[in-house]
Amino acid sequence: MKLYKALTLVFAFSFFFVNAQSKKLSETKFGKGMVNHVAKDSSWSVKFAPRIQMLSSTNWNYDGDQFGKANTSFLIRRARFKFSGFAFSPKLQYKLEIGLSNKDISGGTIYTANSSRYILDAVVKWNFYKNFVLWAGQTKLPGNRERVISSANLQLVDRSLLNANFNIDRDLGLQLRHHINLTDSFVIREIFSVAQGEGRNVVTGNLGGHQYTGRLEFLPFGTFKSKGDYLGSSLQREPKPKLAVGISYDFNDNAVRNSSNRGLYMETDTGLHETDITTLFIDAMFKYKGFSFMAEYANREADDPIVRNSDGSETGVIAREGNGINLQSGYLFPTNWEVTGRFSRIDVKSKDISNQYTIGVSKYIVGHKLKVQSDLSYLALGSTSESLMYRLQLEVHF
């Protein structure tokens, strides 16, 4: 019932502004938001930009001498309402993102009041002094570059195996951000975050310790056009080479989930198992004209990874440790067709090494706002398992 009321308010809000703007021709273009309104006294603004991502996926498992029968599925991968703007002053910005698809909202537990996880982002950003910006609320932590890139702006259909195994996703807390212009072209960014440490939409309070994340970014040739260091593909066709190198270190004090602030809760017969988990990310993004290249490395370690009951018996849940590498490159032709290749290698302790090879083709109709993407992946899990996966996806983002 609470969700129904919330969605009713969202639809009523949207209808009000769309109806108000329909009385005159809107100057808003596709991809710039369905509603883009600034108060008459300039004391607040709102941009409403819904998006839909429709996915078809087909998988073939290798049975020893040939690939078996195809298994095909169709899915609304993502369906979201996105609101952003400023309140009172342009120096106080906000972002609210609500997920509606099953993939967006799944994962509810007793720690989220057995409710679906509708809220993705709910964060305010206060530029309180010169180059200092304070973020407060729930949003992505400053982890690996591929995770921070929006799912709407990816170069392939979805993120890599490295991201699936080691990312630190979203959490609730504070982030302090700052940047320095060393020269006219050399920029350094610093980010420090303190978060709850159990992931998004947790309502039970802090269960273990807190999560601390630091990130440094170096842009020796200046900033990218349209924040292109956090966009897949080279849509802006940088006329001069641009490079961004980042390093993040995350420490989750007394983590209670087996993938830092994600994954399974490490439950025992006496409560929750706690262990310190550290994650290191090193990444880079390079773009020049239609060429782009992204590289990432991740490493995760836990002090006491094996979860045991009071009698010493193992529960079967183990903190995920290991490392991974992801290399991805593409070229965008003048016709806005792009060919992309990716190699991912994941080495998770106590499991076989996974190697995945992916090639993708994308057509950007209105940049990332309206695009069709497809990719084909070959996955080898050790020497015992092989599979093929083909995906086709349509992104519509107002």
DSSP conformation class of 152: G
pLDDT confidence of residue 17 = 52
Q: Quote the CA–CA distance of 355 and 387 in Å, as a whole number.
A: 11
Beta-strand runs (E) in 227-304: 238-255, 257-259, 262-265, 267-268, 271-272, 275-289, 291-302
> What is the pLDDT, as a whole number, of residue 34?
87
CA proximity to 396, closest of 58, 34, 57: 34
Domain ranges of the chain: 47-79+134-397
Q: How far apart are CA 380 and CA 68, in angstroms?
A: 15
Superfamily of domain 47-79+134-397: Porin (2.40.160.10)
Q: What is the pLDDT of residue 22?
A: 46
Per residue in 8-60, pLDDT (tens digit) is: 555 555 555 555 554 455 667 899 988 898 999 999 999 999 999 999 999 99
Single pTM value for the model: 0.92
| Sites in the chain below the pLDDT cut of 70 | 1-27
pLDDT at 382: 81
pLDDT, tens digit, 9 for 90 and up, residues 139-157: 999 999 999 999 999 999 9
